[in-house]
Amino acid sequence: MNGAPRPPHGTGDKGPPPGGPAGPDARGEQDARWLSAVIHAAFFLLLAASLTRYLIRHPGSPHTGWIIALSAALGLLYTLGPAMGSRPTLRRLLWLGAEVAVWVVLVVLAPSFGWCAVPLFYTGLRTLPPRAALALAALLTAFMVAAQQRLVSGIDPNLLIAPPAVAALAIAVFVHMDRQAARQRALIDDLVRTRRELAATERREGMLAERQRLAMDIHDTLAQGLSSQRMLFQAAERIWDTEPETARGHLRAAAAVAEHNLAEARRFVHDLAPADLTAGGSLPAALRLLADRESTAELAVRCRVEGTETALPARVESALLRIAQGALANVREHAAARTAQLTLTYLGDLVVLDVADDGRGFDPEAGRSRGLRGHGLPASDARVRQLGGTLTVESAPGEGTVLSAAIPLEYP
């Protein structure tokens, strides 16, 4: 608006700044509108007061018609200021020149109009480069001082000092507001840039977390199923000529594993719950289905549920089932065990899944010192930690292994 500092621009097409409507950008615009309204009101009050003073002091003056016409022209030009834009275009420079010219003529005819120059300082400061604006303000101030001295006989120190002091105060306020607006715009731009960088980082982290989740799901289901199929095919090939019926049984088992993997793959596509949870309806039922499917002539898998069964969040059920699948896959491939036991225990505010086998076991400390290999244990540990739980592994060479996943029901 005319006669006010430029309001701090926000982020253009970058979207609203941080902090919403009460943020720094909104407060800056509100302050600019408030200051603009005050300057407008001050200009028209000064213009009206100067005109009233002239009409009272000079009744019947031959210049009265000119004074009224020039006052109206100055007010009209000032009102047209916002339509001229804020950039120093030729049209705005011509408008500023016309406004200053009308004011000069008014001051020559009636020196009391000199105080109307104060709001014009803001117009010049907003329109011209800094040095040109200061030069214009100095000329307006000098002209105003000269005009005011015509109202008194001799030298009046008050009229000599007051106009420059008021001009200096007005310029200082404008410069302060303009610099504050510039700092505010820089701060807002920095906040917007930081927010965008943070959003990009969060998107990258989300993508990595999703990739990790998919890797764990594929490892615990599709990869393990394919491994089981390979073992069944190899077993069938070895005994195809000597035990054809048993070999056909291995092929039927491989087909069942393939069907189950197909169901899992379809649920990955639709981001649904694990197939066993969908078929069984609850985690205990899903674990029993898993135990039955994983049981073979070489490995007997049992399932037991202890405590009072309670409804679990879907994330907890899915994580525990995936952990059981991955643990049994490790038992089948690495433990050379004869039996394995799945134990699901409800402890009120805690649910615990234990997977125990009587296989060859290993040294957990040696495994940690070498770093966990593969995806099984790291994937299970990541699943449990995401739910605020803990994963422990107890094992020793020749004494089997017990994997325990404990998840609090008040998880983050």
Burial of 115 (0-12, 13-18, 19+ CB in 10 A): buried
Q: Is 50 exceeded by the pLDDT of residue 13?
A: no
Residues 91, 333: Cα–Cα separation, whole Å: 84
DSSP 8-state secondary structure symbol assigned to residue 403? E
Domain end, chosen from 138, 165, 199, is at: 199
Residues 118, 104: Cα–Cα separation, whole Å: 13
Look up the domain containing 93 and give its range. Answer: 12-199
Domain end, chosen from 173, 199, 225, is at: 199
Whether 143 maps to a domain, the answer reads yes
Tokens 């049981």 belong to 295
Tens-place pLDDT, residues 194-235: 888 887 787 777 677 667 767 766 776 677 778 878 888 888
Whether residues 24 and 170 fall in one domain? yes
Where is mean pLDDT largest: 35-39, 357-361, 368-372? Answer: 357-361
Residues 100, 252: Cα–Cα separation, whole Å: 99
Domain end, chosen from 199, 220, 249, is at: 199
Under DSSP, is residue 12 helix (H, G, I), strand (E, B) or coil?
Answer: helix
pLDDT score, position 303: 95
Tens-place pLDDT, residues 260-315: 777 777 766 655 556 677 666 789 998 999 899 888 888 999 999 999 988 888 88
Whether residues 195 and 286 fall in one domain? no
In 3D space, the residue among 123, 122, 124, 166 whose CA is nearest the CA of residue 141 turns out to be: 166
Q: Which residues have CB under 8 Å from 80's CB, separation 6+?
A: 95
pLDDT score, position 278: 67
CB-facing half-sphere around the CA of 135: CA atoms within 13 A: 5
pTM, two decimal places: 0.43
The phi and psi torsions of 140 (rounded to 5 degrees) equal: -65, -40
**Is 396:339 a contact under the CB 8 Å cutoff?**
no
Whether residues 46 and 190 fall in one domain? yes
Whether 72 maps to a domain, the answer reads yes
Whether 332 maps to a domain, the answer reads yes
Where is mean pLDDT largest: 60-64, 148-152, 169-173? Answer: 60-64
DSSP 8-state secondary structure symbol assigned to residue 318? H
Q: Is 50 exceeded by the pLDDT of residue 412?
A: no
Lowest mean per-residue pLDDT among 46-60, 112-126, 230-244: 112-126
pLDDT score, position 326: 84
pLDDT score, position 16: 44
b/e per residue 282-306 (b: at least 16 CB within 10 A): ebbebbbbbbebbbeeebebebebe
pLDDT score, position 206: 65
In CATH, what number is assigned to the domain containing residue 340?
3.30.565.10
Total of domains in the chain: 2
Whether 174 maps to a domain, the answer reads yes
Whether residues 188 and 289 fall in one domain? no
Whether 240 maps to a domain, the answer reads no
Residues 354, 392: Cα–Cα separation, whole Å: 10
Whether 181 maps to a domain, the answer reads yes
pLDDT score, position 107: 83
Q: Is 70 exceeded by the pLDDT of residue 242?
A: yes
